[in-house]
């Protein structure tokens, strides 16, 4: 058995262990006893040079990886959750910490993911390290990294139409949405890497908004940077009804297009060796820029692994890559496997493209293709079939028009992204130039929006 195959099975055993810990209550005593037992088994039966002993050893290590998965989830469950003590109570608390993610700005309010470092309540204070969602007035605006002191009441997590914060915050506390807390900025961070990235993102979004008319500008910002705040609710519902909501958020498809554009651009100006490192850095920055959702992180890791494989001259194995990306994300936050629907949809869609696409393509090899419509049909069906169980379980409905809508829209998304990017860059140079280039982006995005409205 090859080393890559062994590595794949070990990662799968770890993921299955995390899944077992997520759905079943496994006691620590059982885990400790199992670890001791397999180590004794390995010590007693191991003999060098025997194929049978290799199988025993491999089975033992698979079991150990499985146990580590259970232990990793249990460790995340047993971590201190001091803030939950004050959930849904009338006790007013004071939290000290910093803004831990890019603020989400809506038409009349802003939401901050706040990393609380200290809590003070009823005359006592305690050091903590938990995430809190704060909803406050649109002004004054807060930025990533701002150090704040916040006074308010805590409430259990809730989900919204545009985001599942309960899953994102991994069941941490949030401030009550009906009570706007009192916020005092204790210190403004002068500069940080992430703060600079998010500021650059806002400048570019503003340039796109000046170059392209709404709601097309918000759609372009959505497919380029994952920003959905400016899209009208009625249009969001149209995308939802037609099964094309994934187009409004950055996905693996978008980052694949970006990685392709980056590679082509860099190879025009520099040698392959330098272009490789700049391309890797570009994917990392883009992943951070778009909010580092499950689909983007997965696609980013896989994209970097593709670049590494090409650079080293090794064969690229997509199955190993997606399992590695999933295991890495699960190791960092084991709760995404069960509680993050976006994580589940992202990986199932990719698995559908890997394994269902070749099967359906073979069955349809005699069907004539018209431009890219056949390939888009097969890709859409493959992804939709893979995610169908999760969609039905979580949302209770499935849009039958999603297949024709995606077939008609997907071919023009790379062009919309390219023209939208060029209009944003041109707008930074001169607003008139941005509007001239933005006309092309508006036409392509208008086609997409028209198709969505017709099918809705």
Please report which residue ranges of 365-430 form alpha helices under DSSP H. Answer: 373-395, 402-409, 413-429
CA 451 to chain CA centroid, Å, is 26
Q: Which residue has the higher pLDDT, 351 or 398?
A: 351
């199988």: which residue's tokens? 55
Contact 329, 339 (CB under 8 A): no
In the predicted structure, residue 341 carries a pLDDT above the cut 90 = no
Specify the pLDDT at position 172: 46
Assign residue 163 a region: left if phi > 0, alpha if psi is -120 to 50, beta otherwise? beta
Q: pLDDT class for 453, splitting at 50, 70, 90?
A: very high
User: Among 4-13, 54-63, 253-262, 431-440, where is mean pLDDT lowest?
Assistant: 253-262
Tell me: the pLDDT tens digits for 208-232?
Answer: 999 998 889 988 888 887 777 778 8
Rg (CA), the chain: 24
Q: Which CATH number fits domain 82-190: 2.60.120.20, 2.60.40.1930, 2.60.120.620, 2.40.50.140?
A: 2.40.50.140
Q: pLDDT class for 446, splitting at 50, 70, 90?
A: very high
User: Among 36-45, 354-363, 369-378, 420-429, where is mean pLDDT lowest?
Assistant: 36-45
In the predicted structure, residue 452 carries a pLDDT above the cut 50 = yes
Q: What is the pTM of this model?
A: 0.68
Judge residue 95's burial from the number of C-beta atoms within 10 Å of its C-beta, 0-12 exposed, 13-18 middle, 19 or more buried.
Answer: buried
Q: pLDDT class for 164, splitting at 50, 70, 90?
A: low
Specify the pLDDT at position 256: 65
124, 97, 242, 104: which is closest to 183 by C-alpha?
Answer: 97
> Looking at 19-123, which runs of residues are DSSP E strands?
93-99, 104-105, 109-121
Specify the pLDDT at position 176: 45
37, 52, 134: which is closest to 94 by C-alpha?
Answer: 134
State how far the alpha carbon of 137 is from the alpha carbons of 153, 179, 408, in Å.
Answer: 16, 11, 40
What share of the chain has pLDDT > 90, as a percent? 5
Judge residue 16's burial from the number of C-beta atoms within 10 Å of its C-beta, 0-12 exposed, 13-18 middle, 19 or more buried.
Answer: middle
In the predicted structure, residue 187 carries a pLDDT above the cut 80 = no
In the predicted structure, residue 162 carries a pLDDT above the cut 90 = no
Q: Which residue has the higher pLDDT, 13 or 345?
A: 13
Specify the pLDDT at position 171: 44
Specify the pLDDT at position 357: 84
Q: pLDDT class for 52, splitting at 50, 70, 90?
A: low
Specify the pLDDT at position 443: 94
Q: Which residue has the higher pLDDT, 367 or 439?
A: 439
What share of the chain has pLDDT > 70, as a percent? 75
In the predicted structure, residue 173 carries a pLDDT above the cut 50 = no
Average pLDDT for 187-208: 76
Tell me: the pLDDT tens digits for 103-138?
Answer: 887 777 888 888 888 888 877 888 888 888 888 888
Specify the pLDDT at position 454: 92
Highest mean pLDDT among 86-90, 177-181, 231-235, 304-308: 231-235
In the predicted structure, residue 90 carries a pLDDT above the cut 70 = yes
Average pLDDT for 392-396: 74
Assign residue 226 a region: left if phi > 0, alpha if psi is -120 to 50, beta otherwise? left
Average pLDDT for 89-109: 81
Average pLDDT for 253-267: 68
According to the 3-state scheme, what is the secondary structure of 309-331? HHHHCCCCCHHHHHHHHHHHHHH
Contact 77, 26 (CB under 8 A): no
């Amino acid at each position: 058995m090859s080393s890559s195959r062994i590595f794949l099975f070990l990662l799968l055993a770890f993921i299955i262990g995390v899944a077992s810990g997520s759905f079943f209550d496994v006691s620590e005593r059982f885990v400790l006893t199992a670890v001791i037992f397999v180590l004794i088994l390995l010590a007693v039966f191991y003999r060098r040079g025997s194929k049978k002993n290799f199988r025993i050893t491999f089975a033992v290590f698979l079991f150990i990886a499985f146990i580590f998965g259970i232990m990793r989830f249990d460790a995340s469950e047993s971590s201190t959750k001091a803030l939950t003590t004050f959930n849904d109570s009338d006790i007013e608390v004071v939290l000290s910490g910093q803004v831990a993610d890019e603020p989400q700005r809506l038409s009349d309010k802003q939401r901050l993911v706040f990393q609380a470092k200290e809590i003070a309540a009823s005359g006592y204070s305690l050091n903590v390290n938990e995430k809190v969602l704060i909803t406050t007035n649109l002004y004054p605006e807060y930025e990533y990294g701002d150090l704040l002191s916040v006074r308010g009441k805590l409430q259990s997590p809730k989900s919204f139409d545009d985001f599942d914060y309960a899953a994102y915050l991994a069941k941490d506390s949030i401030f009550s949405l009906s009570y706007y807390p009192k916020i005092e900025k204790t210190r403004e961070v002068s500069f940080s890497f992430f703060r600079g990235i998010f500021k650059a993102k806002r400048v570019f979004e503003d340039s796109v908004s000046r170059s392209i008319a709404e709601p097309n500008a918000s759609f372009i910002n959505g497919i380029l940077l994952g920003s959905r705040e400016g899209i009208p609710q009625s249009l969001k519902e149209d995308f939802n009804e037609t099964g094309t909501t994934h187009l409004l958020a950055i996905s693996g498809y978008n980052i694949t297009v970006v990685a392709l554009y980056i590679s082509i651009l860099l190879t025009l100006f520099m040698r392959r060796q330098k272009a490789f490192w700049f391309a890797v850095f570009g994917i990392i920055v883009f992943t951070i820029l778009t909010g580092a959702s499950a689909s983007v992180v997965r696609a980013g890791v896989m994209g970097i692994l593709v670049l590494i494989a090409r650079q080293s001259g090794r064969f690229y194995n997509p199955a190993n890559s997606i399992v590695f990306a999933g295991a890495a994300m699960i190791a960092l936050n084991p709760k995404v496997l069960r509680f993050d629907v976006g994580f589940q949809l992202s990986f199932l869609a990719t698995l559908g493209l890997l394994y269902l696409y070749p099967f359906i393509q073979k069955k349809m090899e005699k069907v004539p293709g018209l431009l890219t419509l056949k390939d888009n049909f097969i890709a859409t069906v493959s992804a939709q079939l893979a995610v169908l169980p999760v969609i039905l379980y979580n949302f209770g409905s499935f849009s039958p028009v999603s297949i024709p809508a995606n077939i008609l829209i997907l071919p023009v998304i790379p062009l919309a992204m390219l023209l939208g990017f060029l209009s944003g860059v041109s707008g930074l140079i001169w607003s008139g130039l941005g509007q001239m280039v933005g006309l092309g982006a508006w036409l392509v995005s208008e086609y997409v929006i028209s198709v969505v409205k017709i099918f809705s």
